[in-house]
Homo-oligomer: A and B are copies of this chain.
Amino acid sequence: MTSEETAPGSIRPGGRTARVREAVLRAAGDLLAERGFAELDLAEVAAHAAVGKTTVYRRWGSATGLVTDLLVDMAEQSVARADTGSLLGDLTANARLVARTLTDPRQGRLFRAVIAAATCDEAAAAALRRFYDVRLTEWSPCVSAAVARGEAPEGTDPRAVLSAVSAPLYYRLLASGDPIDETVADTAARAAFDAVRAGTLVRNAAES
Which residues of A are interface residues toward B (Cβ below 8 A)?
35-38, 112-113, 115-116, 118-120, 125, 128-129, 132-133, 136, 159-160, 163-164, 166-168, 170-172, 174-179, 181-184, 187, 190-192, 194-195, 197-198, 200-201, 205-208
Contact = CB atoms under 8 A, between A and B. Distances in A.
A195 B184 contact: no
Nearest to A177: B129
A159 B175 CA distance: 13
B200 A176 contact: no
Contacts of A178: 159, 163
Given A119-B36, A120-B116, A176-B132, A183 B167 contact: no
Contacts of A112: 119-120
Nearest to A207: B183
A191 B200 contact: yes
A208 B190 contact: no
Given A38-B120, A132-B177, A167-B171, A208 B191 contact: no
A146 to B, nearest CB: 16
A186 B203 CA distance: 13
Contacts of A172: 163
A118 to B, nearest CB: 8
5 contacts: A164-B191, A170-B171, A170-B175, A183-B206, A191-B194
Nearest to A125: B177
A117 to B, nearest CB: 8
B201 A36 contact: no
Given A120-B36, A167-B168, A195-B195, A115 B174 contact: yes
Contacts of A132: 175-177
A136 B167 contact: no
Contacts of A159: 178
Contacts of A177: 125, 128-129, 132
A191 B187 contact: no
What are the nearest 5 A-B pairs in CB distance?
Answer: A191-B195, A36-B120, A167-B171, A129-B177, A167-B167
